[in-house]
Structure 1
């Protein structure tokens, strides 16, 4: 029996930061268009889509 339970929520789970390094460009563009303001940030060899829309 697992003690890990998963609760459905309507709250975003990404806190305004999504790691998009390995996602297709079309998907990253879709995410960026859904946000009112977003920018890309590189850190530690990874690319993140950052927004304040949470």
Structure 2
């Protein structure tokens, strides 16, 4: 089990946000603010990725 299980609340330097544990309304807000985005699943986690 990973020691870091807390969801990130801010995008990383590369425009990736771990949204696995966030409510849908919060994910929608991030997506609207970021513009063009897509979702990625890796290792059982869901990430919102901003197109640059």
- Whether these two folds match at TM > 0.5 is yes
**What TM-score, normalized to structure 1?**
0.68
Unaligned stretches of 5+ residues in structure 2: 1-9
Aligned residues: 42
Unaligned stretches of 5+ residues in structure 1: 1-11
Q: Which has the higher contact order (CA 8 A, sep 6+)?
A: 1
Higher radius of gyration, 1 or 2? 1
Runs of 4+ in 1 over 6 A off after TM superposition: none
**What TM-score, normalized to structure 2?**
0.71
The CA RMSD over aligned residues, in Å, is: 1.7
